[in-house]
Structure 1
Amino acid sequence: MPKAPARRVVVVTGAGAGVGRACAEEFARAGYDVALLSREPERVVRLAEQLEALRGVGALAVPVDMADAQAVDAAAGRIERELGEIDVWVNVAMATVFAPVSALSARDFERATQVTYLGQVYGTMAALARMRQRNRGAIVNVGSALASRAVPLQSAYCGAKFAVRGFTDALRSELIHDGLEIRLSLVDLPAINTPQFDWAANRTGRRARPVAPVYQPEVAARAIRFAAEHRRRTLWLGWSTSRAIVADLLAPGLVDHYLARAGYRGQLTDAPRPADAPENLYMPVAGDFGAHGRFDDEAQDGFVPLFTERHVHAVMGGVALGLLGLAMAFGRLRRQVRACLR
């Protein structure tokens, strides 16, 4: 009898809730065996049991702090021993803090950077150490519109996401240089309805919210699986992501002043933040949190456009032609004015 083909294995970091949990469910629906990495052990153990029972796939819960490089590499080794060779690695884990820079400590910046940036670096390194041996595999780093256009009150998170983009671009060139067939993608997300707005560190005194428009985490999960299964360099999810990035390219100073006014009210509600609200910056928050946050009434789950590098090049080409046309028109007008003054 011919041997049955091995099932594909995906590793999802930050799988305990939010986009990471939605990704785990999305890949499981597609028939992947799933390794679930998270600081909070009980949630991923329960999720592994649910995926095995409902989806009939293999699932392995691996409690790990993505800021610990040795622990992440050890987790990758355990996954390959117990679940199989890693085909896809998705870096989702993140941590943020809502506060102006003046209200943050050096340790706040350090911790947010360790999880959100170095966590992706360590995950990528662990995946590459295995994928290089086989010269195959896909790594998806999860970025944000905030990786190209930073906003007030999230300086630590924005700085980390900018770093993720720089790291991903540098590594991609190295993979090309080495002639490797390992795919590396960056998916920039818009505002997503996840529990982070209730458990992220917050020094503002008011409850945080995602900047509208808001999308459900399943939308992000579908985009991430698309990037993993197709050779795409970059992927922007949603009109709001593309608008923010292009606007900053064309008029960054205007965007600075706009966000000085709108960036605060867009991220904070009028409701005071409860004094006993949980915070997951330094320690995981226990409890059975799912993929969704408290914004189901406004979050969109229908068709959301995906912009890959092909669309980006076309848009930027059109922008460049438009600017060239304006420059030529201005030059003609200036010559006509000079002629009239002679």
Structure 2
Amino acid sequence: MNKKVLVTGGAGYIGSHVVRQLGEAGYDVIIYDNCSTGSAESLLFGELIIGDLADTKLLYQVLSQHKFSAVLHFAASLIVPESVARPLDYYSNNTRNTLNLLECCSLTGINKIIFSSTAAVYGEPEQIPVTELTPTQPINPYGRSKLMSEWLIQDYAAVSNLNYVILRYFNVAGAEPRIRIGQISPNATHLIKVACDAALKRRSELLIFGTDFSTPDGTAIRDYIHVEDLASAHLDALRYLEKGNQSEIFNCGYGAGYSVREVVERVKAISETDFPVIEAKRRPGDPACVMAESDKIRQVLNWQPKYNQLDTIIATTLAWEMRKKAKQNHLVSRIF
């Protein structure tokens, strides 16, 4: 069986963890990434090709040169407030570039795709937890750009031999257990990462955006998933498609929600530090509560998460950020 796969955006946070698991599973991996937010340093396996999905000439050349059995598509912009401020950038990078990829897959005969989607497609769901049948009503350009990408994939699959798995992520955090790779983006806005930065004194304070949500403590509630468990879901999805199974959509979360205040308190406890917490206004496009119903992925793909504890997610994030800090301090000491 052909085990060569293309991973777009594979040098990024989630993509690099999937690349590592693919490499360990014996896949031949080619990574296509413009490295605008990712880095070659995050790649423990595979061959990196620096390229943008907007460059359809290069993309077609890469797909033509290699006989890929499948594409795993991660490349995207993903910061909600930024999408509100710069919607055209998000439709361009997320939606139009997915169209570019599908067109090149069509021309080169690639008929399996795993798409990195988001729980943001659900918007402000009326019922919690959300299932894959929950109406999709995104409330920000990020969520809409991803939902439009889902529609592109589904519409093309309806008239071709393309089979897909769409994975709708909830809030991703954590780092690889051996702490070799983790989140590297300096502009990351994810709560657990930002709180760990505050614990390590990289930030003078932590901002809580919104304390007037309709939740028990007034702060937003999210379902957090460890990046390693999310990565394993992609390998399960790939094996599912390799067996000739039909296209599907799956939620990727644990079905457990934690408020912003709860997460902050756990970060303080695990790091054994305290840091100032400042209450601020809500950010545009933030829903009050989003939690996953994950029965479908567990039953259909036999997905079995191993790191589904909030403390584990926080501890690996903190360990990764401490490793980064130590490495930066070492570099500074060498320079001076």
Q: TM-score, normalised by structure 1?
A: 0.55
Aligned to 1:226: 236
Aligned to 2:51: 64
Aligned to 1:139: 113
AA partner of residue 77 (structure 2): A
AA partner of residue 70 (structure 2): V
* Structure 2 residue 173 is the aligned partner of structure 1 residue 193: yes
Distance across 1 between alignment mates of 2:138 and 2:189: 11
The residue matched to 2:6 in structure 1 has which SS? strand
User: Structure 2 vs 1, CA of residues 201 and 64 (structure 1 numbering), >3 Å: closer, same or farther?
Assistant: farther
* Structure 2 residue 194 is the aligned partner of structure 1 residue 214: no
Q: What percentage of residue pairs aligned between the two structures are identical?
A: 10
Deviations 1:95-146 (A, max 9, x none): 1334398xx54xx1111222222232222222232126xxxx4111121121
AA partner of residue 107 (structure 2): A
AA partner of residue 154 (structure 2): D
Aligned to 2:18: 23
In the alignment of these two chains, the number of paired residues is 229
The residue matched to 2:296 in structure 1 has which SS? strand
Aligned to 1:332: none
Conserved 8 A contact 1:140-1:184: yes
* Structure 2 residue 253 is the aligned partner of structure 1 residue 238: yes
User: Structure 2 vs 1, CA of residues 235 and 40 (structure 1 numbering), >3 Å: closer, same or farther?
Assistant: same
Aligned to 1:155: 140
Aligned to 1:325: none
Distance across 1 between alignment mates of 2:23 and 2:224: 24
Q: TM-score, normalised by structure 2?
A: 0.56
User: Structure 2 vs 1, CA of residues 197 and 145 (structure 1 numbering), >3 Å: closer, same or farther?
Assistant: farther
Aligned to 1:94: 76
Aligned to 1:249: none
User: Structure 2 vs 1, CA of residues 27 and 124 (structure 1 numbering), >3 Å: closer, same or farther?
Assistant: farther
User: Structure 2 vs 1, CA of residues 239 and 263 (structure 1 numbering), >3 Å: closer, same or farther?
Assistant: closer
Deviations 1:292-313 (A, max 9, x none): xxxxxxxxxxxx95524987xx
Distance across 2 between alignment mates of 1:263 and 1:115: 31
Q: Larger radius of gyration, structure 1 or 2?
A: 1
Aligned to 1:282: none
User: 1:17 Cα deviation (Å)?
Assistant: 2.0
Q: Which of the residues 50, 64, 88 maps onto 1:110?
A: 88
Q: Which runs of 5+ in 2 are unaligned?
A: 126-136, 175-182, 191-205, 210-218, 265-275, 281-292, 301-336
Conserved 8 A contact 1:197-1:207: no
AA partner of residue 139 (structure 1): I
User: Structure 2 vs 1, CA of residues 214 and 308 (structure 1 numbering), >3 Å: closer, same or farther?
Assistant: closer
Distance across 1 between alignment mates of 2:36 and 2:149: 26
Q: Which runs of 5+ in 1 are unaligned?
A: 52-58, 244-261, 274-303, 312-342
User: Structure 2 vs 1, CA of residues 154 and 165 (structure 1 numbering), >3 Å: closer, same or farther?
Assistant: same
AA partner of residue 93 (structure 2): V
AA partner of residue 235 (structure 1): F
Aligned to 2:213: none
Distance across 1 between alignment mates of 2:9 and 2:220: 19
Q: Which of the residues 61, 67, 92 maps onto 1:77?
A: 61
Distance across 1 between alignment mates of 2:77 and 2:24: 27
Distance across 2 between alignment mates of 1:220 and 1:192: 8
Distance across 2 between alignment mates of 1:150 and 1:168: 24
User: Structure 2 vs 1, CA of residues 266 and 157 (structure 1 numbering), >3 Å: closer, same or farther?
Assistant: farther
Distance across 1 between alignment mates of 2:119 and 2:168: 6
Aligned to 2:311: none
Spell out the pairing of 1:40-51 with structure 2 (5 A cutoff): 40=35, 44-47=39-42, 50-51=44-45
AA partner of residue 10 (structure 1): V
Aligned to 1:168: 153
The residue matched to 1:192 in structure 2 has which SS? strand
